[in-house]
Amino acid sequence: MPISLEYFSWVSALVIFAVLAAPVVWLGMRSLAGLGPIRKWVAIAARLAVLAIFVLILGGARWQKINRDVEVLVLRDVSESTLNVRQFPGKSLQQSVEDFLREASESKRKKPDDRIGVISFDSRALIDAIPNTTLALDARPLREAGNGTDVASAIQLGLATMSPDAMHRMLLVWDGNANSGDLEGALSAAAAAGVPIDVMPLKYDVQNEVLLERFVAPTWKRENEPFSIDVILRSTNATPVTGKLTVLHQGVPMDLDPETPGLQPTRLVTLKPGLNRETVRVPALQSPGVHQFQATFEAPNVAAEVAGGAVPQAGDTLVQNNVGSAFTFVRGKGKVLYVDNASQGGGAMLRQALIREGINIDPDRSTIDQFPLNIVDLQNYDAVILNNVPRGAGGLSDEQQKILASYVHEMGGGLVMIGGEDSFGAGGWQGSRLEEVLPVNMDVPARKEISKGALVMAMHSCEMPNGNYWGEQCAIKAVEALSSRDEIGVISYAWKGPAGGGSQWDFPLAEKGDGSKVIAAIKNMQLGDMPSFDDMLDAAINGNNGQGGLIRSDARQKHIIVISDGDPQRPADSLIQACLQNKITISTITVFPHVGDPDGLPPVMKDMARLTKGRAYGPINNNPGQLPQIFIKEATIVRRSLIYEDRQGIPLKLSDAASELIKGISEFPPVYGLVLTSRKPNPQIELPLVAGKNNDPLLAFWQTGLGKSAVFTSDAHNRWLAGWTGSGMYDKFWSQVVRSVSRPPMSTDFDVQTTQTGNRGKIVVEALGKDSAFLNFLSINATVVGPNSNEKPMQVRLTQTGPGMYEGTFDASEPGNYVAVLNYRGARDEQSGILLSGMAVNTSPELRDLKSNDAMIERVRAATGGRIVRPFDAAGADLFTRDGIRPSVSPQQIWDRLIMILLAAILLDVAIRRIAWDWQATKRAARAGVNWVRSFTTTRHVETRQTLDALRKIRDEQAQSRGETGAPTSVGAPADSAGEARPDPSRKFEPGKAVEGDITQVVGGATSKPVPTTPKPKEPPKGQQGDKGDAMSGLLAAKKRAREQMDKKDE
């Protein structure tokens, strides 16, 4: 049916129509009886038509357009397991697949409007090419390395991408191995949508492989307690393979043969086909914390062999899956990580004070470059202290600050951040993930004594991989580091633009506000290759095209960041002098330069920074990931206004004397400087100490997630805290602050094990009380942090499976370390605390799939009614075939058109009931209109003189013949003056011989005489009129004749 209803079925529509139509018909038959039978039923029919249209509108009537075109979506596997494929026609698998798709998309069997698109997938699916009539593979999205195959997400994305105006099918280029996602659900969705999935299999069979299956280490051990670790190896070789096993502990080789004198860093191992277990004895460990192990197996390497190839040799094919890691928590006295970046060695005062108070400070790590790079290393510490540590270049990287925030919020760790010239907002921490776990915000309300900064970023096209992407990321990170009152401007070079080309403002110099407008402008940047720095610097300093530059800004700090490859010409000396006169500094970042001095920097980039007292970074040739960190650091230059100093001292005020952080301390000397911040609007935040007349936060504390954090916005040495360092309260104050945020010691009543089963991690907790009785009915929730810091931690609720036994599972499909923090709570308050556990997933699941899965390929084909396409056979692929495709329709809303029809039907309904139509007049008007039209379309026949004479002669003969036969004349008709008898009007024309003479003799009824007038009826004389009865009869007869005439008109 070409029309369908969206909101209810046709049966429901008929029922609704019948219910509404019944009273309309009944009332119409009673109230419209005076209109006459025909007009009455026409009015009722019009009213029913209005009802029918109204019901269609209520039902959401849609026109079903039948689709004829075919849209093909290619789902292409780009996961690591496809590296095992060896049989392809081109130079590489990627090139071979692309050549196949191009040739198949240009097939003669493809109709002009058929479309094709491409989606690539590994652990996630991305669109490579939007469906189009021509295949475009030139532009692809940036893809991060994946560690799995999620074909289900590719199918779901394909179903969501398909346009509604075509028939659909998919081509899955796949090896049959999937280790994540709900494939069965995706297949059911495709089958329900009627989308067949053709499969082009990527086949391989690696026959000689040795891989490290698992590396098992205990989760917890006590200090000075020896234990064992197990290395589980799997061999697919048909014969034994001999290789070397090496195990590292904290990066140092272990002695794998203690019975033999000297260090034996390797062990010769012979592997049988299948699983093999090697046990390594670990001596008693003297230091508490996290102990990490790494195992490596080396076997003779052979070229990859596939089924049907040459006879393989015993050995190893892939070396990527021969390495595994594990870690063990060793209980002992907790440690604190103190990261010291205080100027002129001032941080030593705090270190010595904490040691005097008995706090265990890690002696091996104290500088920024020694800060841990993963979440596991941070588990060695109960708390972390950051003393004047910035964000970005010269400070913590984005990845490090994310894992530190996770360590506090999800892992229950403690954090103390101490102020200084490079800390808080002045250190670029605004907008960071770490700011979220601190009790203060880096931005402060507008105040007269706080001046603002102004930053202009000059973006030049750099000839580097993904240059525009990195330029965008750098600018966004710099914007995030600014406060809402700071001014920001973005300049780029364009060959063409609103002003005809040259340097232009992508975002004119203005206050940042919430940053949404400037970030949107940054994302629309089109970076060009500028010939000279003159145009750019002139625009940044003086402005152009009606937009003001830095010279018109009232900011105290004015700064320009230039990112370039150093190719543009040196700016004019007048522009450098303008920078110096207006106190504008320039920092340069050199990326992928073509020429340079021995240090790699082009002279123009060094000179601009040196002459304006800025900094020159670079050259950056290999690691563009450090670029955003440099921009963050440079953006903090304009935030120096957040530093508040007073040589006379800033008085302090005690606002919460009951706080544990300042317990037992009643007097606090003034400070001489601090970094301005603002308290977060959260009632759980403690603010024991405030400074100055505006009550700016000096000491703040709160619990965030499972952990605690505190901030001290002044420094911790004798520059701003000179009145504290010589007093006896200094040591006590800092020890109380650190102990207040430190993570409590772990309970010894619990045994926690975390193991790997397939792609899942399993946490098992055995809870025993002090009297060895089982602890039942505990509430245990785990927060699991995986190897990807950008992903949210996984929340796991453990359920009780037996007396004192609790279990829970989580996804562990990606390789790396998984750390779990378990928060338990019982019926009594003392039955609560935090437990730590974790495990390591060694190799990617992709590297454990050594053979393509033909059974799963057939399952996909059968479930959706697709085909098996011969690999790389473009001629026989026929991607756009209509076979097996369910005909599709595109529903189009027509309610807007129905509303117009409804209005017209309502007007017609009213017109039928209110206007008395004269049907005879209508017929005459219609007939007249037809004749008028025919007058223009019918050819007229003009009679000649001879024809008219012949017709006249025939008329005369006919008239004479009637006179001879004595035809009667009409009563009352006057006699013809010539004595001719009047022709009989009822006589039919009967042709005889050839027509001659007057035509009136043939046709009859025509005469050249005038038509006589109708005689007036004679009135009877007075006194002879009929009686009243005759008059009444006449009236009744007249009424009857009038009624008959009206009925004839209705008919």
Identify whether the C-beta of residue 236 lies closer than 8 Å to the C-beta of residue 273.
Answer: yes
Alpha helices, DSSP H, located in 582-688: 603-611, 627-635
Q: Is the pLDDT of residue 143 over 60?
A: yes
Asked if residue 737 has pLDDT above 90, the reply is yes
**pLDDT confidence of residue 1014:** 52
CB of 679 closer than 8 Å to CB of 685 = yes
pLDDT at 58: 87
pLDDT digits (tens, 9 = 90+) for 45-75: 888 999 999 888 888 888 877 888 899 999 9
Task: Give the number of other Cβ atoms within 10 Å of residue 855's Cβ.
Answer: 8
Q: Average of pLDDT values for 378-382? A: 89
Amino acid code (one letter) for 1041:
R
How large is the average pLDDT for residues 876-893? 84
Task: Using the predicted structure, report yes or no on whether residue 1037 has a pLDDT greater than 60.
Answer: yes
DSSP conformation letters of 505-572: EEEEEEE-TTSHHHHHHHHT------SBHHHHHHHHHH-BTTB--GGG---SEEEEEEEE-S-SBPPP
Residue 764's pLDDT is 92
Confidence of residue 968 (pLDDT cuts 50, 70, 90): very low
Q: Provide the pLDDT for residue 973.
A: 43
- Residue 314: predicted pLDDT: 58
Q: What is the pTM of this model?
A: 0.59
Lowest mean pLDDT among 234-238, 376-380, 471-475, 742-746: 471-475
Element (H, E) at 26: helix 10-31
Share of residues in the chain with pLDDT > 90 (%)? 21
- Checking if the pLDDT of 259 tops 70, the result is yes
Topology adopted by domain 71-204+852-872? Rossmann fold (3.40.50)
> In the structure, what pLDDT confidence band is assigned to residue 974 with cuts at 50, 70 and 90?
very low
Q: Is the dihedral of CA 678, 683, 684, 688 positive or negative?
A: positive
Q: Give the mean model confidence (pLDDT) for residues 470-474.
A: 75
pLDDT of residue 29: 83
The band of 339, judged by pLDDT with boundaries at 50, 70 and 90, is very high
Residue 109 or residue 1013, greater confidence = 109
The per-residue pLDDT for range 189-211, each reduced to its tens digit, is: 999 989 999 999 999 888 788 88
Work out the average pLDDT over 473-489: 81
Pairing of strands 220-222, 323-331: parallel
| The pLDDT of residue 499 is above 70 | no
Kindly state which CATH superfamily the domain 453-639 is placed in.
von Willebrand factor, type A domain (3.40.50.410)
Token pair listed for 145: 């390395």
CA distance 886 to 161: 18
DSSP string over 71-102: EEEEEEE-SGGGGG----SSSSHHHHHHHHHH
Model confidence at 505, pLDDT cuts 50, 70, 90, reads confident
498 pLDDT band (50/70/90 cuts)? Answer: very low
- For residue 892, pLDDT over 80 is answered with no
| Confidence at residue 306, expressed as pLDDT on a 0 to 100 scale | 36
Q: Mean pLDDT over residues 823-829, rounded? A: 77
pLDDT of residue 313: 53
Half-sphere exposure of 59 (CA within 13 A, CB side): 22
Buried b (16+ CB within 10 A) or exposed e, 134-157: ebeeeeeeeeeebbbbbbbbbbbb
Q: Does the domain formed by 335-442+651-741 have CATH 3.40.50.880? A: yes
- Element of type H or E holding 249: strand 241-249
CATH class in words for 750-847? mainly beta
- Beta-bridged to residue 338, according to DSSP, are 385
**What is the pLDDT, as a whole number, of residue 310?**
39
pLDDT value at residue 744: 82
What are the structure tokens assigned to 467, written together? 């240059």
The token pair at 976 is 């013809």
Contacts (Cβ under 8 Å, ≥6 apart) of 120? 76, 77, 78, 126, 128, 140, 143
With a cut of 70, say whether residue 302 has pLDDT above it: no
When pLDDT is cut at 50, 70 and 90, the band that residue 984 belongs to is low
Least confident span in 3-17, 730-744, 885-899: 885-899
The domain 210-323: what is its CATH number? 2.60.40.10
Bigger pLDDT: 525 or 511?
511
End-to-end CA distance of the chain: 37
Rounded mean pLDDT of 630-657?
A: 77
Enumerate the β-bridge partners of residue 180.
none
User: Which of 296-305, 742-751, 799-808 is predicted least confidently?
Assistant: 296-305
Mean pLDDT of 242-250: 91
Per-residue pLDDT tens digits for 663-719 = 888 888 999 999 989 899 888 899 999 998 888 899 999 999 889 999 999 999 988
Average per-residue pLDDT in the chain?
81
| Two domains, one topology: 210-323 and 453-639 | no
Tokens describing residue 478: 């710099």
Residues 265-276: pLDDT tens digits? Answer: 999 999 998 899
Structure-block tokens of residue 818: 């998984």
pLDDT band at 967 (very low <50, low <70, confident <90, very high): very low
Residue that wins the pLDDT comparison between 1010 and 456: 456
In the prediction, which pLDDT does 674 show?
Answer: 92
Residue-range domain boundaries for the chain? 3-66+893-919, 71-204+852-872, 210-323, 335-442+651-741, 453-639, 750-847
Out of 248-257, 341-350, 869-878, 917-926, pick the least confident.
917-926
What's the average model confidence in pLDDT over 349-353?
Answer: 92
Predicted local distance difference test score (pLDDT) of residue 500: 46
One-letter amino acid for residue 833 of the chain: G
pLDDT at 389 over 90: yes
Asked whether the predicted pLDDT for residue 758 surpasses 60, the reply is yes
Which residue did the predictor score with more confidence, 236 or 319? 236
- What angle, 0 to 180 degrees and rounded to 10, lies between the N-to-C axes of helices 919-937 and 1028-1050? 50
